[in-house]
């Protein structure tokens, strides 16, 4: 087990800044993956624990944001594939959807969009969440998902098409 008290003061300060800067974006990202606010909070804590433990080994080959988001995505995926999650009721409570709304948490359109994003297959949901909700470039997303930027671009376009069809389909009966 690593002696965590052996961290340097500047490492502690950097970690505190990372928590302050990325706590809310990570919570949104994890919520969209896990569809459960308390699980999202657990995933954020687990992500920051992993960040803290591996800070000394961070080689800055990518930005801190990309590195942290990659850890968060992998943490959420691990949680989704756990035996416990297979038996957990992951239906989202409508009030919890507000965390995903960007501008107006009470807007019906924002809730419909949030639900549609949650219903996308993960390969499309990943790119939508990282691109629109985390303001990441296609290159950064490619690094996180370990794929090419052209694949991210294709997935982004397909995800947009699917979302458009899902949302237009839902309005036909109005």
Domain residue spans of the chain:
1-91, 93-174
- One fold for both 1-91 and 93-174? no
Integer Cα distance of 76 and 36 in angstroms: 11
At 98-153, the pLDDT tens digits run: 444 444 444 577 778 888 888 889 899 989 989 988 889 999 999 999 899 999 99
Choose which CATH entry (1.20.1330.10, 3.40.1180.10, 1.10.10.10, 3.40.50.410) describes domain 93-174. 1.10.10.10
Mean pLDDT of 83-108: 50
Integer Cα distance of 94 and 115 in angstroms: 9
The pLDDT, as a whole number, for residue 55 is 85
* CATH number listed for the domain at residues 1-91: 1.10.1740.10
Q: What pTM, to 2 d.p., does this model score? A: 0.69
- Percent of residues, the chain, with pLDDT higher than 70: 78
Residue with more model confidence, 174 or 112: 112
The mean pLDDT value of the chain amounts to 80
At a CB cut-off of 8 Å and minimum separation 6, what does 110 contact?
A: 97, 98, 100, 101, 102, 103, 104
Residue with more model confidence, 169 or 49: 49
Phi-psi region of 135 (alpha: psi -120 to 50; beta: other; left: phi over 0): left
Task: Give the CA angle between residues 119, 170, 164 to the nearest 5°.
Answer: 65
Residue written as token pair 């624990």: 49
Integer Cα distance of 126 and 132 in angstroms: 10
At 29-45, the pLDDT tens digits run: 998 888 888 999 999 99
Contact 88, 35 (CB under 8 A): no
């Amino acid at each position: 087990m690593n002696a965590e008290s052996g961290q340097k003061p500047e490492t502690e300060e950097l970690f505190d800044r990372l928590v302050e800067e990325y706590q809310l974006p990570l919570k949104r990202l994890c919520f969209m993956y896990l569809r459960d606010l308390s699980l999202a909070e657990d995933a954020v804590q687990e992500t920051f624990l992993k960040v803290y433990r591996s800070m000394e080994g961070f080689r800055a080959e990518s930005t801190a944001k990309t590195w942290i988001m990659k850890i968060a995505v992998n943490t959420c995926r691990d949680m989704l594939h756990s035996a416990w999650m297979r038996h957990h009721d992951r239906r989202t409570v409508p009030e919890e959807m507000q965390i995903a709304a960007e501008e107006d948490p009470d807007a019906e359109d924002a809730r419909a969009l949030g639900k549609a994003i949650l219903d996308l297959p993960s390969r499309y949901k990943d790119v939508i969440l990282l691109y629109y909700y985390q303001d990441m470039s296609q290159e950064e997303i490619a690094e996180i998902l370990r794929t090419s930027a052209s694949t991210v671009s294709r997935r982004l376009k397909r995800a947009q098409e699917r979302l458009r069809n899902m949302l237009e389909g839902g309005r036909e009966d109005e």
